[in-house]
A = this chain, B = another copy of it.
């Protein structure tokens, strides 16, 4: 029998930003690292969320010892409500992550089944043949960790999402000493965050933003309205500190912001001095120069606090001249135009707006190139695998690894589903498991596939023409004149003549005494072809043509 090897199988998160999920397998034991979702891109019309395909996990259900969570961002925990009902295994995570995951599961009514174990940063636990240690990392949410995993073939380090902030605002700095210590004892494999592998230099410390926010609040003549990610607790802390410093009261608006502030305060991650926080209904009587409002909407979400404010659709807040609005967040790719529209609208109403391109109101939470090289130098892994990123990020990160001495043949820029097998002296991609996007659309998970998306795409471009063809159920022959109804295609009044002409065309095609009932496939494709050609000639558009036969 062949010697057992360690298998590393990414089920999501390579070649895309989001839906992070990684399998570590040795013999009869599997651990799963993270279970994230991805937000749909512009091709995924009507889709709410995207989660990983977990067929491999379902096939190997009895081997799974647990799901280990590095931190509580959606791209690392968002698939849990869909995954847990299918594979009910224990979860291992830090305290804040447990709080946020519980909230999420409760919302989806899946809490009862979940066993969530809290492990503090620095803590250790065993899952089958794997011995796992959480080490603290800095990221844009408190209580984030990386993993040191002892396996029978050697040590694996999983960086989680991280940066090296020497002056973090809350929590611990990334534990470089522990990494150096482990790096001195031979590390088999490093899996490291590639999200910002494009950026040269170092990512600035979270502290920098606090100073910028303090300056803006100091000189603002009226209200200061600040939006950020709800989970960016250190940012909320800095806003509260700056507000308190300038004797302003703080109002929280937007559901996810209120929820997170509540959980983070209860768990002790957010420290709010007495008398600073005020209820939103006290806002009316507060002098503008004594007011700071923290709200959701940093990504231009249509129902969020800031977007309602920008659209003059917020119950408590209407922009007036003298207001200052601060975007303390960066656009998630794809959201740029929604955000720009919101900024434009705020400017139009007289607000002074500060945002990333014109002021340092945000720093992100991922390591830049110099930090990535430092991690590689400290850990000195035999094998390296870039994770968390699109292909260009993975490739650039692999290039960085080679620049600090990892041989190209020991660097694995993989795709989702690739099986990387490792022994202490040997590493190779040996196969592939099925992976892909599973679409969540409304209540259903996985029923939307290629055909539905292609149809939505086609409908979105040039609309639809429905052709109603009545045939006699005995003779199979055409009855009356075919009817045509269109939506999203042309202006029905302006194009009346053309649409009428196309009805005649259908009548002409079908009116040859054929038994259309018997040969509906033939009639159907003849009508489609003829109308496709006719409409394209007249409009250069290609609506979906949907012939419907009615037997009468």
Contacts and interface: CB of A to CB of B under 8 A. Distances in A.
A99 interface: no
Interface stretch (A255-263, A374-382, A541-549): A541-549
Contact of A46 (B358, B455, B463): B463
Contacts of A461: 45-46, 456
B456 A452 contact: no
Interface in A20-57: 41-42, 45-46
A470 B552 contact: yes
A462 B46 contact: yes
Contact of A447 (B333, B340, B466, B490): B490
A468 interface: yes
Give the interface size class of chain A: 35 or more
Contacts of A348: 391, 415
A550 interface: yes
B459 A464 contact: yes
A344 B15 contact: yes
Nearest to A535: B442
Interface stretch (A164-172, A284-292, A479-487): A479-487
Interface string A490-508: 1100110000000000000
Q: Which of A357, A539, A550 has the most CB of B within 10 A?
A: A550
Interface string A72-108: 0000000000000000000000000000000000000
A212 to B, nearest CB: 15
Contacts of A333: 336-337, 340
A470 B487 CA distance: 21
Given A46-B463, A448-B491, A443 B539 contact: yes
8 contacts: A15-B344, A42-B42, A46-B541, A344-B391, A353-B392, A441-B539, A459-B459, A466-B466
Interface of A: 15, 41-42, 45-46, 198-200, 333-334, 336-337, 340, 343-345, 347-348, 353, 357-358, 390-392, 395-396, 415, 441-444, 447-449, 452-453, 455-457, 459-464, 466, 468, 470, 479-480, 483, 485, 487-491, 494-495, 538-541, 544, 546, 548, 550-552
